């Protein structure tokens, strides 16, 4: 058990314990540094939008992909080949990780091959 004393009187800043007298401010500073080091570091560069600030809707719905495909006349926007709704992936023009919303205005329909190629 630690006792705060100075010549028998209570005093802030000094802790007397089994290891002797320790500067309380140093211990507090170390504890604060430890707490801060445990916090996640903010991301930098591409994909620097914190997950909490991103659009919670991550994946385009089937309804959204159907509308994309209709808008694109049934074609993959990448290769121009005719595709079915099951062959289309919703792609964020502005990356989700960069703050891009999962909206029709920020989405295009790509086939699996083209979508994979874009993300290489």
Domain 51-118 is found in CATH 1.10.30.50? yes
* Residues in the chain, overall count: 120
Which two structure tokens, joined as six digits, stand for 42?
A: 């903010």
Strand, helix or coil for residue 81: coil
> What's the mean pLDDT when you consider all of the chain?
77
Domain boundaries, the chain: 1-39, 51-118
Decide: 108 and 83 in contact? Cβ < 8 Å: no
Ranked by mean pLDDT, the top range of 20-24, 57-61, 62-66, 94-98 is 62-66
- Beta strand extents in the chain (DSSP E only): 14-17, 20-23, 88-92, 107-111
pLDDT value at residue 23: 59
Phi–psi pair at 72, nearest 5 degrees: -95, 15
The whole-number average pLDDT for the span 94-104 is 89
pLDDT tens, residue by residue, 4-57: 444 545 455 555 554 555 556 666 667 666 666 666 565 566 666 676 677 777
pLDDT value at residue 41: 60
């Amino acid at each position: 058990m630690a006792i705060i004393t100075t010549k028998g009187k209570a005093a802030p800043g000094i802790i007397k314990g089994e290891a002797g007298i320790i500067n309380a401010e140093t211990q507090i500073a170390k504890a604060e540094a430890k707490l801060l080091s445990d916090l996640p570091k903010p991301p930098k560069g591409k994909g620097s939008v914190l997950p909490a600030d991103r659009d919670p809707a991550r994946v385009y719905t089937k309804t959204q992909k159907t509308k994309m495909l209709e808008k694109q006349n049934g074609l993959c926007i990448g290769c121009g080949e005719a595709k079915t709704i099951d062959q289309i992936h919703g792609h964020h023009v502005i990356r989700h990780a960069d703050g891009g919303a999962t909206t029709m205005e920020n989405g295009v329909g790509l086939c699996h091959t083209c979508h994979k190629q874009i993300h290489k």
